[in-house]
Amino acid sequence: MVSAELPDKEQNPLLYETATTCMIHGPCGAAYPNAVCMKDGKCTKGFPKPLSEVTKGKVAGYPVDRRRRRAAGVVLINGKEYDNETINQWVVLYNPYLSQKYNFHINVEVCTAITAVKYLYKYVYKGSDKAVITVEAVRGEGNQMQIEPNEILRFLNARYISPVEACMRLLDYSVQGKTHAITQLTIHLENEQMVTFCSSDDPAVVVTRGKHTMLTHFFELCANEAPKNQVVKSTLYQDIPKLFRWDTKAKWWVRRKRYQAALGRMIHVSPRNMQRFYIRVLLCHRKGPTSFENLRTVDGVTYDSYREAALHAGYLEDDSEWVACMTEAYQS
């Protein structure tokens, strides 16, 4: 799919020409401190890349691409001499098919983490590009022309529409779209629902306002023995919006009468907030819990904390496997 190495010049001369002409970064580094990509003595693009015999993936960040060491020697690229042995350190990641077809600079990266979705959404929803223009009054004529100083109105942020985007919008083509409605699911501790109110609100009304939440009514649905609710007992909390919609006024899950493309997403909880974090872990795996107490009950044993419940349910990693391994080795 992608390559970070120069192709064989004899087997594929056209691709080699494109790669050496369009896909070589630099030069930059300590010998070229004034290069455009240099900042604080380092290349902002991460060049030269490390040499590696194999591609190594990463949970976060860019993977380490395969960049093998070549034969010793000197190679001339764009009028500059490079060390042929380490030239792959300067190759920009590319797709051989696209580069050979278009004979142009086309950088192709492989997304290995879910965080790439956030990066893509930024481009879809950030809006149009901005252009800064200046509007100034001019007095005088010919060589005597002078600009009227007006610092307040000197710069104006304007919306810039590229020709491609303008064409898409004039022809009424879809620029972006959405396939599913997302329901944000709340997570809270028992009797610690979040309630918003104004200082002028009646305290008696405020107390009852947070009685029913998405989570508490999910428990009630799972505990209900009505035939129509049996499907909930085998459903995860995050999958409830596929079958029910949340009535914000009644504070109740209402069964959908017809199919709607909907997904549920539990809110992010920091591991520092341990109790809520492990509630979230349990809800990601447990189907049909009927209460907070039932949520932390595993194999008939009710644990004092949600972490203990998640640990005994096998949802967390611990050192017991290594302890058992060392014990077995010691005893045998």
With cut-offs at 50, 70 and 90, classify the pLDDT of residue 81: confident
With cut-offs at 50, 70 and 90, classify the pLDDT of residue 174: confident
| pLDDT (tens digit per residue) in 207-219 | 777 788 999 999 9
Which regions of the chain does DSSP assign to beta strands (E)? 38-39, 42-43, 74-77, 80-83, 129-134, 138-139, 146-147, 155-160, 181-185, 244-247, 252-255, 262-266, 297-298, 301-302
How far from 317 is each of 163, 298, 312, 321, 326, CA to CA, in Å? 54, 16, 10, 9, 17
144 versus 76: the higher-pLDDT residue is 76
With cut-offs at 50, 70 and 90, classify the pLDDT of residue 189: very high
With H, G, I as helix, E, B as strand and everything else as coil, classify residue 88: helix
The Cα–Cα gap between 284 and 265 comes to: 10
Least confident of 51-65, 181-195, 230-244: 51-65
Kindly tell me the sign of the dihedral angle through the C-alpha atoms of 269, 270, 275, 277: positive
Mean pLDDT to the nearest integer, 106-129: 77
Write the DSSP assignment of 4-34 as a string of letters. -SPPPTTT-HHHHHHHHHHSB--S-BTTBTT
Could you tell me what percent of the chain has a pLDDT over 70?
Answer: 90
Kindly tell me the sign of the dihedral angle through the C-alpha atoms of 301, 289, 183, 187: negative
How far from 277 is each of 270, 274, 281, CA to CA, in Å? 6, 5, 6
Task: With a cut of 60, say whether residue 154 has pLDDT above it.
Answer: no
C-alpha Rg value of the chain to the nearest Å: 31
With cut-offs at 50, 70 and 90, classify the pLDDT of residue 253: very high
How far from 94 is each of 4, 62, 100, 131, 326, CA to CA, in Å? 7, 14, 10, 31, 47
The Cα–Cα gap between 272 and 296 comes to: 19
For residue 307, what are the contacts with CB-CB under 8 A and spacing of at least 6? 274, 275, 278, 316
Least confident of 119-123, 153-157, 265-269, 287-291: 153-157
Mean pLDDT to the nearest integer, 123-138: 70
With cut-offs at 50, 70 and 90, classify the pLDDT of residue 227: confident
For residue 310, what are the contacts with CB-CB under 8 A and spacing of at least 6? 278, 281, 282, 316
The Cα–Cα gap between 289 and 222 comes to: 6
Q: Model pTM greater than 0.95?
A: no
Long-range contacts of 271-280 (CB under 8 A, 24+ apart): 274/307, 275/189, 275/305, 275/306, 275/307, 276/187, 276/188, 276/189, 278/305, 278/306, 278/307, 278/309, 278/310, 279/187, 279/189, 279/306, 280/187
Average pLDDT across the chain, whole number: 85
Task: With a cut of 70, say whether residue 156 has pLDDT above it.
Answer: no
